[in-house]
Amino acid sequence: MTLRKAEVLFKDTAAGTLEETASGGTRFTYAKDWNTSIACVLPALQREHEWAQGVHPFFQHLGPEGWLREKQARTARIQEEDDFGLLLRYGADCIGAVGVRRFAGDKGDDVEVAEVTANPGRTISGIQRKLLVVKDGQTFTPAGREGLAPYIAKFNSERENLRTLVRNENLSLRWAAELLGKKEVNEFELANVAVLNEQALIVKRFDRTADGGKLRLEDFAQILNKPSGRDFAGKYDASYEDVAGVIKKHSARPEIDVSRFFRRLIVYVLVGNCDAHLKNFSLLETADGLRLSPAYDVVNTAVYDGFDQTIALTIDGKKPNLDAIAPKLLTDFGKSVGLTDNAIKLVFNDLRKAAKRAASIIEPPDGEAPDGFVHRYSEIVRGSCLRILGE
C-alpha cells in the first residue's frame, strides 16, 4: 500500500506535512522553520502530532459530511470513507486558515473535477446541503477553483419533511439576532443561486477578510479532538460544560465569552434548537486573539416530527428533553461555569425584554393554516419563552 503525504498550509503558507502511517493512522509534522501553532490541539512546541487510527480529528473535521461529501467523492471518483483522499482533492481551501494539498508535481490518479456544484479545490464541513458561492452584482454562483469564496449557500434538504430548512434558519437567525444582537450572529440573506436555480440562505463568512485573507477558525470538535466517527456522531460526544472549559482555556477574553456562550445557549433552548453540537461553536481569530465566533447554524429542530427532542450535548451529565428544561437547570449551569448570580440574572432580564421586542418576527402570516409552519414554529418558541423567561 502506498502511503500518501500532503502539504499543510496555514494562510496559504506551507506550515508542515500530513502523512499516513503504516499502522493506519496519520502524522502531522511542523516544517523545520515553522514556530507558530496552527491549531489549539496542535501546539508548535510539539513538532509531531500522531493519531493512531485514520485522519487526525483536526484535519478530519475540515472535510464535508452528507450531501457535499457524496457529491465531491462521486465527482472525483473517491470512496466516501476516504478522508485523506477527499482532503487531497478538495482541502486546499477549507473553512478557517488551514488547508491541505498535494505537493507540487504530485498528480496522483486525480480525475479532473469540472462540476462547479462540487466546489472543485474547496470544501466545507457540515451535513446540510451547502456550497461555497461568490456574488457577481446581485447574482450568487458556485465558487470555482480559484479566487474568493466569501459566502456559503445553504439549501433545503432533499428529504420531504425538511423542505423548510432555509425558511427555518432565516427565521431563527432573525429572531436570535434580536435577542443576542446583530453582531452576535453571522450576516445572512435569502437569494437564488444560479446554476442550481434554487433559493438558499446565503451567509457571509466571518473567517475571511474583505480582501480574501484567511482567519483562524476552529470548531469545538476540532479543539476537543473528537473523531467524527463513521456516522459523524463525534460532534455530540461532549457536554456544554466542556464547551465552557474550552472557552476558559483558549479565549483571549474568557469571562466575556463564557457569558456570551451562556446567553447563546439559553437562546438556542428558547428557539427549539436541539442540534447545537460541538461543530456549531467555534473560536475565531481577532485582533485580541481567539474569541467565541458569531452564532451560526441556528435552526428550530423541534418543529420537525421525528427529530430528537433532547438537547445535543449534556448538561450536568444528562440530555434532557427540550420541554423539560427549566430556569433552575440553566441557572445552575451558569453557576457551574463560573458566572455570578448577578450576571445570570442580568442575562435572563435582558432576554426577557428582547423576547418581547422579537415577538412580531415569529407572528404567523395572515391566512396561514393553524398547522402551518410558522404557527407550529411560533408555538414552540412562545412556549419555551413562557416556561423559561416567564413571558
| Per-residue model confidence as pLDDT tens digits over 305-332 | 888 899 999 999 999 999 999 999 999 9
Kind of pairing between the strands at 151-154 and 198-204:
antiparallel
Domain ranges, ordered by start, for the chain: 5-112, 213-389
| Per-residue model confidence as pLDDT tens digits over 186-229 | 999 999 999 888 999 999 999 999 999 999 999 999 999 999 98
Section 248-252 average pLDDT = 98
| Per-residue model confidence as pLDDT tens digits over 46-84 | 999 999 999 999 999 999 888 889 989 998 899 999 999
The whole-angstrom separation of Cα 100 and Cα 218 is: 15
- Angle 254-271/341-357 helices, nearest 10 degrees? 40
Section 287-300 average pLDDT = 97
pLDDT at site 319: 96
DSSP string, 188-236: EEEEEETTTTEEEEEEE-SSB-TTS-B--EEEHHHHTT----TTS-GGG
pLDDT at site 109: 59
The CATH number of the structural domain formed by 213-389 is 1.10.1070.20
Q: Band the pLDDT of 115: cuts 50, 70, 90.
A: low
* pLDDT at residue 113 greater than cutoff 70: no
- In the three-class reduction of DSSP (H, G, I as helix; E, B as strand; rest coil), residue 257 is classed as helix
* pLDDT at residue 359 greater than cutoff 80: yes
pLDDT at site 116: 62
The whole-angstrom separation of Cα 96 and Cα 124 is: 10
Q: pTM of the predicted model, to two decimals?
A: 0.94
| Residue type for position 94 | C
| Per-residue model confidence as pLDDT tens digits over 147-189 | 899 999 999 987 877 789 999 999 999 999 999 999 999 999 9
DSSP string, 50-77: EESSSS-HHHHTTS--HHHHHHHHHHHT
Cell of 12: 496559504
pLDDT at site 306: 83
* pLDDT at residue 28 greater than cutoff 90: yes
Q: Do 68 and 131 touch, CB atoms closer than 8 A?
A: yes
The whole-angstrom separation of Cα 20 and Cα 14 is: 18
